[in-house]
Amino acid sequence: MNRIKQQLLTDKKLLSIYFTAGYPNLEDTVSIIKSLERHGVDMIEIGMPFSDPLADGPTIQDSSTKALQNGMTTEILFEQLQAIRQSVSIPLIIMGYFNPILQYGVEAFCEKCQNIGIDGLIIPDLPMDIYESDYRQIFEAHGLINVFLITPQTSEERIQYIDANSKGFIYMVSSASTTGVQVGFGDEQTSYFKRIADMNLNNPQIVGFGISNNMTFKQATNQAKGAIIGSAFVKHLTTEGIDSIDKFINTILGECH
Amino acid sequence: MNRIKQQLLTDKKLLSIYFTAGYPNLEDTVSIIKSLERHGVDMIEIGMPFSDPLADGPTIQDSSTKALQNGMTTEILFEQLQAIRQSVSIPLIIMGYFNPILQYGVEAFCEKCQNIGIDGLIIPDLPMDIYESDYRQIFEAHGLINVFLITPQTSEERIQYIDANSKGFIYMVSSASTTGVQVGFGDEQTSYFKRIADMNLNNPQIVGFGISNNMTFKQATNQAKGAIIGSAFVKHLTTEGIDSIDKFINTILGECH
Amino acid sequence: MSYHINDNGYYGDFGGAFIPEMLHPNIEKLRQNYLQIMSDSEFQKEFKQLLRDYVGRPSPLYYASRLSKKYNTKIYLKREDLNHTGAHKINNTVGQILLAQRLGKTRIIAETGAGQHGVATATVCALMGIECIIYMGEIDIKRQAPNVARMKMLGAKVIPAMSGSRTLKDATNEAMRDWINNPLDTHYIVGSVVGPHPYPDMVARFQSIVSEEIQWQLKDQEGTTKPDYVIACVGGGSNAAGAFYHYLEDTSVQLIAVEAAGKGIHSGESAATSILGKEGIIHGSKTLLMQTKDGQITEPYSISAGLDYPGVGPMHAHLYKSGRAEFMSITDDEAMKAGLALSQLEGIIPAIETSHSLAIFDHKKFKNDDIIVINLSGRGDKDLQNYIDYFKL
Amino acid sequence: MSYHINDNGYYGDFGGAFIPEMLHPNIEKLRQNYLQIMSDSEFQKEFKQLLRDYVGRPSPLYYASRLSKKYNTKIYLKREDLNHTGAHKINNTVGQILLAQRLGKTRIIAETGAGQHGVATATVCALMGIECIIYMGEIDIKRQAPNVARMKMLGAKVIPAMSGSRTLKDATNEAMRDWINNPLDTHYIVGSVVGPHPYPDMVARFQSIVSEEIQWQLKDQEGTTKPDYVIACVGGGSNAAGAFYHYLEDTSVQLIAVEAAGKGIHSGESAATSILGKEGIIHGSKTLLMQTKDGQITEPYSISAGLDYPGVGPMHAHLYKSGRAEFMSITDDEAMKAGLALSQLEGIIPAIETSHSLAIFDHKKFKNDDIIVINLSGRGDKDLQNYIDYFKL
Ligand SMILES: Cc1ncc(COP(=O)(O)O)c(C=O)c1O
Ligand SMILES: Cc1ncc(COP(=O)(O)O)c(C=O)c1O
């Protein structure tokens, strides 16, 4: 069984962490992944840096630029991850824009992911209809779950459609924003969280965007299955480096998890 | 008899000098006139400075600007000239643009000229047809000769017309140019001088524009009755001041006049 | 009373040709030929075709709905800003270059203030492959830098006028001097309805295309050829002459000419010629001009280089004296504000000259069914730096 | 083979809408409504009236006789430079602002390279009284200063894009981010035939007025609606799309698209997308783009801000791949020289973008009876400083 699905079956609230591969240093990828697992993270999104990450805010954008300057490429990322399954067992998801995947070759890319032990993909600029018609078969043949997003603006009809076509979880964007823009959740988000919970979807939801501390983590996971932290973690790497990842995780989960 | 006409009856070649009243200093007007007569000049054109002397080149333009800055006005000029006829007997002509005369009142202006003993006027921007229809009567009632210009471009027919309506001499512009532009006479001018001489006009011609030394004076007066020097004299005043006017006149007339 | 030129070259008491004899052959040749050349059908065909295909005429008559709403009246803008090179000036230069060709001229000179006439002249000279010299006051060269750059791109030589106030008046003096010195091969393309006869009439006729178009355009949009008001700014007066032309004799159409009051009419720094001027002679014609008691021409001032001129054309002197047109004056500050307001209300950045016309709504009330046509004489691209500096944008 | 968009939003292999889910509601609403809104007769009436009275259409089709003589062929210039704000861009912004109003949007964003699209957007926003935010690369803000000043005069807020090459590509990223963050009240007025479906088709339709006019204008002047060649520069491709539109299916009309070769196609500093690019995804559509082996988008280079873009619209990718259009590329130096030449031959200072099209005559020979229409996409006022510096005028 796919590790993502397995993880979703546990009854804990899941903490998923995003980071940009190759940042702060080209060779940090594996250490970060290991450290995250060691400190209690439930799922990891490995960001493939892209020159024009238009769905991301300045923090992730800057880390991507730096990672590319550090020399990160698709090839190098795969090399770094080659032996990852010897030491890491939580679900690993690659998050990346579609063009680098297209240039690598979608089939070759999926094959590589399967070999490494990647469990899923998040490709923000690959919409569901194109995925359905052109790529689902390839992804599934390689055991990869493709994760789709919904936002507060997504219509009920489309949420049902996305739910019907999702195979793991739904990435629930907390608010209309590129990553890193939100600072906390207000009434609007709370009622959005409730509205989605009330839909009783087949796929569990994991909330992303705007989670940066214990309070927002709790708010987000009050009804959803889990939460994804991206910008806040990347910011932490920028200011604190990779050695105090435990401290970051602790503040998110609360002191006594 | 008008002093201009009298002077034209002599058989010498006439040297007429233009200067800008009020330049280099406001009070130089009378001294310059006296000095010019004393050193052998036959006729004088007193320039009334104007803010926008569009028929003049940079030298006379600059002297006009300076004279106005010195405070020269029509009123002051008339005051300065009030007693001029007690000491000066050569013909005096006022050269000025039409607007200051118009503002003074053409009739008042002419009356003042008559009282002072001015013999003629040169008004470059008062064309003959307007003079004929509107002003001849006034000028003549005050014994003033209005002097008209011809240029190398003036048609034979128009020269005849100007000749017929002129009462003293014709101001023969040596070449198409604002004052001060010419540097010497070439074939073109020589043949123009000859062409006009051959017309046997009623009025004698005095050549102006471009005369600056003995050679050009001689060329100009070879066939014409006289020559007018403006820019060269004003330039002399600028560099040498008013005390060496004799030196200037001597170089024009040649050492042994 | 007629408001057109008479056979002697006068509008009422104003006009004529007070020129030095040196200019007589050129002016006389023009005077004798301009009407005949202009009425020639080949000339008209070529002129009209260039106006259409090159200049981009007809310029639209645009109903400015947000501006109209603001002042609770009906305001149409005659979009001369959309002409090639960005102002009404090109109507005249296209006409004059065709005329110059027919007169056998091979060298063109012009004066310019805002640079619009200089650009328009350099443009038609490039179009015809004729040498072009533009005189421009040193101050204007500085405050209208983009237009200087354009003239150079177009291959014209720009010569600074360094005398006097170093603005339009002095550039005009220099151009006249040049013509005196180059009488045979050169045509002087005067840029406004100023100068000796026949220039005022000739330029007005070339610009009259503006009101010719307003007539049928208004007919299309309002069912009448006649607005209640026609409004235009006046430097020398060419854009106003063009906008007024076909309405001159019809006194049911009220004409408003707007002059530059600079820092205030009585501040000593202004260009409000009709109010401050007296009859006199400037640049070859009898008209109203700002001058000292002694007849020296005063140095004018306006933030707008194109209105910074101490005279007006003789047609306008006559319109003023006869009362046919109402004359208003607008300060620098009022004009700048009106320019910004139009930019943000209608998305049209006007030339600062034009902004003067737009400022009159704060001085004069109109009825809600009045039809007002404002001649939007030019675009503000040349003035951007001034606007930016003024408003600290 | 068809060269128009198909029902799925593709031109051949190119197009589509590769967008984040956050943009889905907006794009979907647009896709579902644009054709219906655009074909509504009230919409068409308002659109056409604004094009006529506000933009100044039709833009002339000008026979450039001196240019034609120089190259011994028949060259017509489609004068989009005479449009209000000085380029073809406004055809699209007028259309989109009307559409945005009908979609109930109250805030407009746009990206801009040369600043022409930014100005055109700020203009229509001022006209309609709608808030306007323009994203512009920091480098472009410097090299197109006059247009930045214009946007400010028009009341728009200009936000510098500081990432990547700090040019058009990055401004587009920023605009998309803004839209993601403001999905409800905001419409994004894309400035070229790029971006996710339906933008390429929508922009092409708004720009198709250009070839619609060429057809009847050429009929008037040459007795045929069909030129032998239509030539246009390609940044994103909107002016080319407009000029080609009504000739796309008629292969007797040859289409030439001109790209910026910068300092030379293989210099590493160029924007010659079709030659250097590979298939991929940029700004939401599958098309040709300049990228690394790894799929990172390359920073392009051109002296002209409007062509300094690493992609082309999907229509052009299809025209290239299918061979329907010939693609040429022109260096900075060749373009600058051609711009100066047109200025001095025809009195028209072109935008540097357009100068690229004008430079092809030194690369390609035409027959003396070929009828060639070049889309003169914009005027060079915004580029004066560049021209002056380049030629040390
Ligand atoms: C846009 C514009 N409007 C008005 C004027 C004033 O000239 P006139 O009064 O001749 O129309 C100028 C002069 O340069 C100008 O550029
Ligand atoms: C004058 C001009 N031409 C061409 C372009 C290139 O855009 P497109 O390829 O969309 O026509 C621009 C872009 O700003 C422009 O301003």
Residues D71 and D145 in one domain: no
Give the active site residue among D74, D89, D286, D382: D89
Residues paired with A47 in a beta bridge: A20, A95
pLDDT tens, position by position, C126-163: 999 999 999 999 999 998 899 999 999 999 999 999 98
Instruction: For residue C5, tell me if it sits in a domain.
Output: no
In whole angstroms, give the CA distance from residue D214 to residue D278: 33
Q: Binning pLDDT at 50, 70 and 90, where does residue D244 land?
A: very high
Residue A128 confidence (pLDDT) above 90: yes
Contacts of B173 in chain C (CB under 8 A): 21-22
Residue with the nearest Cα to atom 4 of ligand 1?
C353
Residue D285 confidence (pLDDT) above 90: yes
Evaluate whether D126 touches C345 at the Cβ level (below 8 Å): yes
pLDDT reported for residue B175 = 84
Is the C-alpha dihedral spanning B216, B219, B222, B227 positive or negative? negative
Residue C371, phi then psi, degrees to nearest 5: -100, 120
Instruction: For residue D37, tell me if it sits in a domain.
Output: yes
Instruction: For residue D3, tell me if it sits in a domain.
Output: no
pLDDT tens, position by position, D119-165: 999 999 999 999 999 999 999 999 889 999 999 999 999 999 998 88
Residue with the nearest Cα to atom 14 of ligand 1?
C306
Last residue of a domain, one of D203, D230, D265: D203
Last residue of a domain, one of D203, D224, D241: D203
CB contact under 8 A, A74 and D294: yes
- Calculate mean pLDDT across residues C26-43: 97
Residues D342 and D263 in one domain: yes
Q: How far is the CA of D25 from the centre of ligand 2 (A)?
A: 29
Nearest to D123 among C79, C340, C347 (CB): C347
Taking the CA of residue D237 as reference, the ligand 2 atom at the shortest distance is 9
pLDDT reported for residue A185 = 86
Choose among D263, D215, D285, D270: nearest CA to D243: D215
Q: Binning pLDDT at 50, 70 and 90, where does residue A255 land?
A: low
pLDDT reported for residue A180 = 66
Catalytic residue annotation of C: 89, 111, 377
Nearest to C294 among B103, B150, B181 (CB): B103
Tell me the nearest-neighbour CA distance from D152 into chain C, angstroms: 7
Question: Is the peptide bond prior to B100 cis by the omega test (within 30 degrees of 0)?
Answer: no
Burial class of residue D385 (count of CB atoms within 10 Å of its CB; 0-12, 13-18, 19+): middle
pLDDT tens, position by position, D82-130: 999 999 999 999 999 999 999 999 999 999 999 999 999 999 999 999 9
- Calculate mean pLDDT across residues A37-42: 97
CA contacts within 13 A on the Cβ side of C250? 14
Which ligand number lies closest to the CA of residue C172?
1
Nearest to D384 among C52, C153, C385 (CB): C153
Is the C-alpha dihedral spanning A96, A100, A105, A108 positive or negative? negative
Q: Which of residues 216-255 of C touch D (CB under 8 A)?
A: none
Containing H/E element for C188? strand C186-188
Instruction: For residue C25, tell me if it sits in a domain.
Output: yes
Please give the mean pLDDT across all residues of chain D. Answer: 97
- Calculate mean pLDDT across residues D260-265: 97
Which ligand number lies closest to the CA of residue C210?
1
Choose among A123, A146, A137, A156: nearest CA to A55: A123
pLDDT tens, position by position, D36-60: 999 999 999 999 999 999 999 999 9
Instruction: For residue D4, tell me if it sits in a domain.
Output: no
pLDDT reported for residue A181 = 61
Residue in C189, C192, C349 to alter for ligand 1 test, most ligand atoms within 8 A of Cβ:
C192
User: In 3-state terms, what secondary structure has residue D109?
Assistant: strand
CB of C116 closer than 6 angstroms to any ligand 1 atom: yes
Q: Which residue shows structure tokens 């997003």? A: A149
pLDDT tens, position by position, C160-201: 999 888 989 999 999 999 999 999 999 999 999 999 999 999
Q: Which residue shows structure tokens 């800003």? A: C81
Full domain range(s) for residue C364:
57-87+208-391
Last residue of a domain, one of C203, C218, C233: C203
Evaluate whether B16 touches B41 at the Cβ level (below 8 Å): yes
Choose among D320, D110, D260, D262: nearest CA to D195: D110
Residue B184 confidence (pLDDT) above 90: no
Residues C125 and C165 in one domain: yes
Residues D224 and D199 in one domain: no
Residues D197 and D238 in one domain: no
Q: Binning pLDDT at 50, 70 and 90, where does residue A193 land?
A: very high
- Which chains lie within 8 Å of chain B at 3 or more CB pairs, if any? C
Residues C63 and C198 in one domain: no
Number of domains in chain A: 1
Instruction: For residue C169, tell me if it sits in a domain.
Output: yes
Residues D41 and D65 in one domain: no
pLDDT reported for residue C143 = 84
Residues D186 and D217 in one domain: no
Instruction: For residue D245, tell me if it sits in a domain.
Output: yes
Please give the mean pLDDT across all residues of chain C. Answer: 97
* Known catalytic membership, residue A119: no
CATH number where A45 lies: 3.20.20.70
Nearest to A176 among D176, D181, D294 (CB): D181
Residues D110 and D239 in one domain: no
Q: Binning pLDDT at 50, 70 and 90, where does residue C293 land?
A: very high
Q: Binning pLDDT at 50, 70 and 90, where does residue B254 land?
A: confident
Contacts of A99 in chain D (CB under 8 A): 280-282, 291, 295, 297
Full domain range(s) for residue A103:
3-253
Report strand pairing: B43-47 vs C10-11.
Answer: unpaired
The pair of structure tokens assigned to B28 is 């130089």
Residue A196 confidence (pLDDT) above 90: yes
Report strand pairing: D14-15 vs D10-11.
Answer: antiparallel
Residue among D61, D81, D82 with most chain C CBs within 10 A, to mutate: D82
Q: How far is the CA of C83 from the centre of ligand 1 (A)?
A: 13
Evaluate whether C153 touches D340 at the Cβ level (below 8 Å): yes
pLDDT tens, position by position, B115-140: 999 999 999 999 999 999 999 999 99
Residue A182 confidence (pLDDT) above 80: no
Question: Is the peptide bond prior to D196 cis by the omega test (within 30 degrees of 0)?
Answer: no
Q: Which residue shows structure tokens 């998040």? A: A122
CB contact under 8 A, D281 and A153: no
Number of domains in chain D: 2
Residues whose CB is less than 8 angstroms from the CB of residue B40 and which lie 6 or more positions away in sequence, other chains included: B15, B249, B253, B257
Residues C359 and C230 in one domain: yes
CB contact under 8 A, C59 and D56: yes
User: In 3-state terms, what secondary structure has residue B217?
Assistant: helix
pLDDT reported for residue C164 = 80
pLDDT reported for residue C247 = 98
The pair of structure tokens assigned to B224 is 């014409």
Residue C246 confidence (pLDDT) above 90: yes
The pair of structure tokens assigned to C393 is 């944008």
CATH number where D309 lies: 3.40.50.1100
pTM of the model: 0.96
Residues C239 and C294 in one domain: yes
Burial class of residue D292 (count of CB atoms within 10 Å of its CB; 0-12, 13-18, 19+): middle
CB of C86 closer than 6 angstroms to any ligand 1 atom: no
Q: What is the CA radius of gyration of chain A?
A: 17
Instruction: For residue C1, tell me if it sits in a domain.
Output: no
Residue B182 confidence (pLDDT) above 70: no
Q: Is D45 on the interface with C (CB under 8 A)?
A: no
Residues C81 and C93 in one domain: no
Please give the mean pLDDT across all residues of chain B. Answer: 94
Angle between helix axes C199-207 and C209-222 (nearest 10 degrees) is 30
